[in-house]
């Protein structure tokens, strides 16, 4: 069993749709990270959070420590949002989810 | 653009060979972490170096070793390559302040080195 589970694995949306990606984890953590990986491998750190909610542009990340659950929301999705979104947690080491592949269709 | 660079970008080796991958951290960063990402999988933590000392290790055998240099650049060495070592290898640098922990680090990822073992 993976320490970090993401859903859905794949997601296709129409431009403008509101998107939610979910992450559940089973280990004790100090922080949770949302990462964006584009084709070719480059990874960008979107958020690091340990409680509550963070917002950056059209991206919103929330975490519920009691439920060991986090969500990444994208409002007014755009084709340039197409990427793999990875949830990772830091406990005694880094644990990564397998990613959610998002395709936004114009 | 994260300021973290890796070399080479692509590499092909044969089983049993040894490989060295390099990472140049973002200026001022004192911590580097290495990850292995197999195709279709999330990254797996290999190890982390903080101020030239190994500071944590994932579930990887000893033939995976690393170095961090005084200028905080880093190497990942893999001996006796196996076919399953074929993957994208990512490094990420961060700045750990005195008294900080992994949880306080924002990671800046390099573009990765894609290793193919034949």
Identify all chain A residues contacting B101, using CB atoms and an 8 Å cutoff: 30
pLDDT of residue A27: 87
CA angle A97–B24–B96, rounded 5-degree value? 65
Say which of B57, B58, B90 has its CB closest to residue A43.
B90
Rounded Cα–Cα distance for residues A102 and A28 (Å): 28
Q: How confident is the model at residue B7 (pLDDT cuts 50, 70, 90)?
A: very high
Does the pLDDT of residue B47 top 80, yes or no?
yes
pLDDT of residue A65: 92
Residue A81: phi and psi, rounded to 5, are -80, -10
Q: Which of A21, A92, A93 to mutate against chain B (most B CBs within 10 Å)?
A: A93
Q: What is the pLDDT of residues A1-60, one digit of tens each?
A: 688 999 999 999 999 999 999 999 998 888 899 999 987 767 888 998 888 999 999 999
Region B4-9 average pLDDT? 94
User: Which residues, 6 or more positions from B90, have their beta carbon under 8 angstroms from its beta carbon?
Assistant: A41, A43, B6, B34, B35, B36, B37, B43, B109, B110, B112
Cα–Cα separations (whole angstroms), residue A1 to A32, A83, A97, B77, B87: 19, 25, 11, 29, 21
Least confident of A33-37, B83-87, B101-105, B114-118: B101-105
Rounded Cα–Cα distance for residues A62 and A48 (Å): 10
CA angle B70–B71–B73, rounded 5-degree value? 105
Identify all chain B residues contacting A45, using CB atoms and an 8 Å cutoff: 106-109
Residue B102: phi and psi, rounded to 5, are -50, -35
The answer to whether A106 faces chain B, any CB pair under 8 Å, is no
Does the pLDDT of residue B115 top 70, yes or no?
yes
Residue A43: phi and psi, rounded to 5, are -115, 135
User: Which residues, 6 or more positions from B113, have their beta carbon under 8 angstroms from its beta carbon?
Assistant: B6, B7, B8, B9, B10, B11, B21, B88, B89
Under an 8 Å CB criterion, which residues of B touch A?
2, 33, 35, 37, 40-45, 56-58, 88, 90, 92, 101-109, 111-112, 114
């Amino acid at each position: 069993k993976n320490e970090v589970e993401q859903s859905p694995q794949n997601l296709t949306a129409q431009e403008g749709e509101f998107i939610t990606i979910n992450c559940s984890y089973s280990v004790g953590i100090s922080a949770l990270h949302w990462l964006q990986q584009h084709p070719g491998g480059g990874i960008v750190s979107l958020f690091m959070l340990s409680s509550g909610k963070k917002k950056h542009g059209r991206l919103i990340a929330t975490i519920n420590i009691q439920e060991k659950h986090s969500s990444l929301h994208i409002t007014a999705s755009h084709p340039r949002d197409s990427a793999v979104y990875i949830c990772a947690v830091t406990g005694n080491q880094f644990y990564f989810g397998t990613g959610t592949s998002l395709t936004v269709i114009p | 653009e994260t300021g973290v660079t890796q070399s080479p970008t692509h590499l092909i080796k044969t089983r049993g060979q040894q490989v060295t991958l390099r990472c140049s951290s973002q200026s001022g960063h004192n911590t580097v972490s290495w990850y292995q990402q197999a195709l279709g999988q999330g990254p797996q933590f290999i190890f982390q170096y903080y101020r030239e000392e190994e500071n944590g290790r994932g579930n990887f055998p000893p033939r995976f070793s690393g170095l961090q240099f005084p200028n905080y650049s880093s190497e990942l060495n893999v001996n006796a390559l196996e076919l399953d070592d074929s993957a994208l290898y990512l490094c990420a640098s961060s700045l750990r302040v005195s008294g900080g922990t992994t949880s306080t680090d924002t990671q800046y990822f390099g573009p990765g080195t894609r290793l193919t073992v034949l």
